[in-house]
Each structure stands twice: as structure tokens, then as C-alpha cells.
Amino acid sequence: MSDLTHLTIADAEKGLDRGDFTSVELTKAHLAAMAKHKDLNAYITETPDQALAMAEQSDKRRAGKQAGLLEGIPLAIKDLFCTEGVQTTAGSHILEGFKPPYESTVTANLWKQGAVMLGKVNLDEFAMGSSNMTSYYGAVKNPWKRSGDAKDLVPGGSSGGSAAAVSACIAMGATGTDTGGSIRQPAAFCGIVGIKPTYGRCSRFGIVAFASSLDQAGPMTRTVKDAAIMLKAMAGHDPKDSTSTPGPTPDFTKAVGQSIKGLRVGVPKEYKPDGLSSEIMAAWDKGLAWLKEAGAEVVEVSLPHTKYALATYYIVAPAEASSNLARYDGVRFGLRVPGNSLDEMYMKTRAEGFGREVRRRILIGTYVLSAGYYDAYYAKAQKLRTLIAGDFKQAFQKADVLLTPTAPTPAFAIGENLDDPITMYLNDVFTIPTSLAGLPGLSLPAGLSSDGLPLGLQLIGRPFDEEAVFKAAAVMEQAAMFKRWEAC
């Protein structure tokens, strides 16, 4: 084993079990790699002392034959998850220095399963963005570069730090959150696997809220199996989140490696907009070919309301965000910029504490909820959301999973697309409908573009049928033979 950091979670578990190495060694290897890759700016807060202490504890538990699902595995945590006593910024100035006195349910679940925290990774401010450019803590660099081009590329967003860290092997896996594509698009840009599970699968308790009806946590890993292991650890009903779904969590790893003979794979005809690059089309066709070869049946499906999805999302998400972010008012925690009156203090604090994109979305959200506009925007968007979910329901009569591209382009350069928010928003055109419908969506690397960048494909499943998604993803992963260490 040349480098411990290149291992998959599944293989690392075997190695730890065999006693080839300890969690402390595994963790140290990652801390060293993190130091080497500082230039990526993937981490906002590194927690080496905590990591080593957790690794030591983990080694003890393993010696006592009490290993959890992720025993001793070093992970990166998106800085949107509240971690007790460890700064949690949400990528925003307004929360700089905020140390929550509580732990999010998802991270608590991970620690319960033995995972080790390496630190808190970068993200777009309040998870609003598709490039990680909106973070107050600076842009994150994609570990991948175009062949023969030194220009730094974005890792995607909002879980850009998570994707970059996993891709560069400075974490074995990372938590992400996905509101409109924030796990899947960066996974695609960085050549890793990321799944946004069904809405309700993971508890939102302790995750800084962006858009409550859409936010969902999920794992970002280098393999499909690792994603299945990690999701199993993260998920589960939580009485502290009224929208988390009761019932047991399946063992997703069992789906990995199962035959897909007879599985019906739907191809939405509306996902082939004019101008979609031929490279993306080619990757998509290749993905379908792999599935067919393994015995799946490809069917065309229709999602007729797709064209309204982006507009719907950019009403619903900002509306909820404008309300969710009202609590950052300088009164009880985080940044406070004094003023001569309460209103002035609010204005100064929020003007200084929030970046441009966040302010833009608060304004949009406030507008669409205002008296006289509510019916024209928010109420209409809710109706469309129902229609979009209905489209998928129809499609899943004919298909068991859907295959689509994850993003319309591979990673773009840092600084590109910044002037025009609409172009930036278009990045999520394939992931947003799934989010609006609350369905599970997984992105996996399917190959490289002509200039050497990862291209992602998205598998979409029925509500709470992540297993079908994992099953198909594992088959594709095997066929793709993606060089997942390329960027380490």
C-alpha cells in the first residue's frame, strides 16, 4: 500500500480490521496530505487534535471488538453542519467564530459509527452557489486541471470543499448537503461519487438551513460502495426533525454488486436541450450502453414540466432562505456591527455579514413572498413543484431509475460565469428537478472530457429507493473504470 490516503473506505475498514494500520496512522496520513494540499483551500477549519483523539478512541474500540460502520475513517465535514465546540461558519462572515454548543444529528451519527473528524470544509456561503466562489473564506480549487492548462478550476458548489477534499485524497469521504444540486454538481466536477438521498432520509437537525423543504445531507466519496456505507451511517429517523422519515434505514451496501438484469432505465427526452455539448451527450450514451450491456432496458420517458424547474426553484429556495436567514441579526450570536438604533444595527450587520449572492437571494425571496406578489410567484411555484413531482411519478411507471447528465458542462475556471448569475444558475438545470421532487439522485464520474476533466452522470430513483440507484451506479462504476486517484 503506497499511500493510505488513496484507499477506499471499504478497503480501509478491511486494513484496519486486519491490523495493517491503525486509525491513528490513517488519520496522520490524511493530516499530512491536508498540509500538502493547503493551496486547495478545501478546509476552513482543520481539527488535527480532535482527529487524533478520535482516532485513538477508535483504535481502542476496534481492539475491544466494538467497531462501527465507519470505525476509524477520517472524514471531512461540510462547514454547514454544526459541530459541538468547533467553529461552524456556513461559509459566511456573519457566523465567523460561531462555535455551536450542540452537534448536528448527521455528524453525531457518524461519530457514533466511529468516524474521525479531520475538519470543516469550505462551501458557498450558506450553500448558495455552484462554484464555491461565494464563500467568505475564499474560493476552493478543483484538484483537477484541464490537460495542458494551469488555470485553476472551480470544484463546483456548494459542497465544493467536500468534493475537492475527497477528490484530492485529503479525506476518505465528506458530508455534503444538496438543495438544488450542491452534492451532485461538485461531485461531477471533481470526479467523485455523491448522493443526495430522498428528502427526509437524513435529519436536518443541526444543519444550517438554506431552503428547508429542499435541503438534504448526503455523502461524497470516491466509490459507490463508500457512499452506500456512509449514507447508512448518516441516515435514520430523528424525532428532532419533523420532516425526517420514520422507519428503518436499509443496508445500502447490499445493493452494490447486485444484478441489474431487467432494470428499466428511463431517459427523459426533455434533458437534451439545444446546445448541450456533444461530449456530455457522448458520456450519457456511454452510460446507457454500460447499463444495457449489464442487462438493463432503456426506455424514453417524458418530464414535460422540466422547463419550469429552474424558475420554480429560484422562487421556492430564495423564499425559504429569506426567512431562514432572518435569525442572523446580530442579536444573539455571530457578527454584530453596532448601530444607533436596532434597525441600523440590523442593516449594518447583515450588509457586512452577508455576501452578494446571499443578499441577492434574500432580496429575491423577500420579493416573491411580499403582499401582492405571493400568488404570482410563491403560490404558483408551489403548484409547479407539484406538477414536476407528478412528472417523475409518471416516468417511474415506465422506468425504475432515470439516467441524465449531472451538469451541462465540466468544471469551469475560477472567475468564469461570475458576472451573470443566470449562467451560474443553469449549472443546476439537471439536478434541480430531482430536488424539487425530493427524489434520490446520485452523481458518479463516467469519464473525462476531451480536455481531461471529469464528467458526471446522474441516476435518479423513486422516493426511498436509493437501493435501485446504488445498484445501477455500481454497475456503471465498474464499467467506467474511472481513475479516481488521478487528482490525489
Partner 1 sequence: MAYMIEGETGPWEIVVGLEVHAQVISNAKLFSGAATAFGADPNSQVSFVDAAFPGMLPVINEMCVEQAVRTGLGLKAKINLESVFARKNYFYADLPQGYQISQYEKPLVGEGQVIVDLPDGRSTVVGIERLHVEQDAGKSMHDQHPTKSCIDLNRSGIALMEIVSKPDIRSPDEAGAYLRKLRSILRYLGTCDGNMEEGSMRADVNVSVRKSGESYRTRCEIKNVNSVRFVMQSIEIEAKRQIEVYESGGSVDQETRLFDPGKGETRSMRSKEHAHDYRYFPDPDLLPLKLKPDYVARIKDTLPELPDEKKDRFVRDYGLSPYDAGVLVVDRASADFFESVAKGRDSKLAANWVMGDFFGALNSTGKTIETSPVSAAQLGELIDLISDGTLSGRLAKDVFALMVETSKAPSVLVEEKGLKQVTDTGAIEAVIDQVMAANADKVTEYRSGKDKLFGFFVGQVMKASQGKANPGMVNDLLKSKLAG
The number of CA neighbours under 13 Å toward the Cβ of 210 is 33
Q: Is 23 a catalytic residue?
A: no
Give the dihedral sign, CA 51/78/230/163.
negative
Q: Is residue 85 a contact residue for partner 1 (CB under 8 A)?
A: no
CB nearer partner 1, residue 258 or residue 382: 382
Kindly report the length of the chain.
488
Q: Which three cell numbers stand for residue 99?
A: 462555535
Torsions phi, psi for 315 (to 5 deg): -105, -50
Q: How far is CA 76 from CA 119, 361, 464, in A?
A: 6, 27, 26
Q: At what angle do helices 48-63 and 23-36 cross, to 10 degrees?
A: 160
Q: Is 158 a catalytic residue?
A: yes
Task: Tell me the closest approach of the beta carbon of residue 175 to partner 1, in angstroms.
Answer: 13
How many residues at the interface with partner 1, by CB under 8 A? 44
Among 70, 90, 174, 260, binds partner 1 (CB under 8 A): 90
Nearest to 293 by CA among 482, 478, 481: 478
Q: Where are the beta strands (DSSP E) in 143-228?
A: 173-178, 193-196, 216-221
In the shown chain, the binding pattern of residues 187 to 226 toward partner 1, with x for contact by CB under 8 A and - for none, equals -----------------xxxxxx-xxx-------------
Q: How far apart are CA 146 and CA 455, in angstroms?
A: 12
Q: Is residue 332 a contact residue for partner 1 (CB under 8 A)?
A: yes
- Which residue in 23, 28, 58, 78 is the catalytic one? 78
Among 50, 87, 258, 323, binds partner 1 (CB under 8 A): 323
- Which residue in 104, 131, 135, 158 is the catalytic one? 158
Q: Which three cell numbers stand for residue 391?
A: 412528472
Q: How far apart are CA 172 and CA 350, in angstroms?
A: 36
Q: At what angle do helices 224-234 and 9-18 cross, to 10 degrees?
A: 80
Among the residue ranges 188-196, 339-347, 439-447, 451-459, the one whose residues contact partner 1 (CB under 8 A): 339-347
Q: How far apart are CA 411 and CA 452, in angstroms?
A: 11
CB atoms within 10 A of CB 382: 14
CB nearer partner 1, residue 82 or residue 303: 82
Q: How far apart are CA 430 and CA 449, in angstroms?
A: 18
CB nearer partner 1, residue 119 or residue 318: 318
Task: Tell me the closest approach of the beta carbon of residue 73 to partner 1, in angstroms.
Answer: 24
Task: Tell me the closest approach of the beta carbon of residue 388 to partner 1, in angstroms.
Answer: 16
The helix or strand, by DSSP H or E, that contains position 468, with its residue range, turns out to be helix 466-480
Among the residue ranges 8-16, 341-349, 417-425, 470-478, the one whose residues contact partner 1 (CB under 8 A): 341-349
Among the residue ranges 37-45, 144-152, 241-249, 388-396, the one whose residues contact partner 1 (CB under 8 A): 241-249
Task: Tell me the closest approach of the beta carbon of residue 235 to partner 1, in angstroms.
Answer: 17
Task: Tell me the closest approach of the beta carbon of residue 362 to partner 1, in angstroms.
Answer: 11
CB nearer partner 1, residue 240 or residue 269: 240
Q: What is the DSSP letter of 83?
A: B
Q: Is residue 243 a contact residue for partner 1 (CB under 8 A)?
A: yes
CB nearer partner 1, residue 144 or residue 378: 378
CB nearer partner 1, residue 51 or residue 82: 82
Among 11, 84, 329, 416, binds partner 1 (CB under 8 A): 329
Nearest to 223 by CA among 185, 180, 191: 191
Task: Tell me the closest approach of the beta carbon of residue 368 to partner 1, in angstroms.
Answer: 9
Q: Is residue 384 a contact residue for partner 1 (CB under 8 A)?
A: no
Give CA angle at 215 (211, 216), nearest 5°.
175
Among the residue ranges 40-48, 64-72, 150-158, 233-241, the one whose residues contact partner 1 (CB under 8 A): 233-241
- Which residue in 92, 130, 167, 182 is the catalytic one? 182
Determine the distance from the C-alpha atom of residue 109 to the mean position of all C-alpha atoms in its chain, rounded to a whole number: 17
Three-class SS state of 146? coil
Q: Cis (ω within 30 of 0) for the bond into 302?
A: no
Q: Is residue 326 a contact residue for partner 1 (CB under 8 A)?
A: yes
Among 259, 370, 386, 450, binds partner 1 (CB under 8 A): 370
Q: Is residue 239 a contact residue for partner 1 (CB under 8 A)?
A: yes
Determine the distance from the C-alpha atom of residue 368 to the mean position of all C-alpha atoms in its chain, rounded to a whole number: 27
Q: Is residue 338 a contact residue for partner 1 (CB under 8 A)?
A: no
In the shown chain, the binding pattern of residues 95 to 134 toward partner 1, with x for contact by CB under 8 A and - for none, equals x--x-xxx-x------------------------------
Q: Which three cell numbers stand for residue 85?
A: 465546540
Q: Is residue 333 a contact residue for partner 1 (CB under 8 A)?
A: yes
Torsions phi, psi for 391 (to 5 deg): -55, -50
Q: How far apart are CA 280 and CA 405, in angstroms?
A: 7
- Interface residues with partner 1 (CB under 8 A) are 81-82, 88, 90, 95, 98, 100-102, 104, 204-209, 211-213, 239-243, 319-320, 322-323, 325-327, 329, 331-333, 342-343, 346, 366, 369-371, 374, 378
The residues carrying an active-site annotation are 78, 158, 182
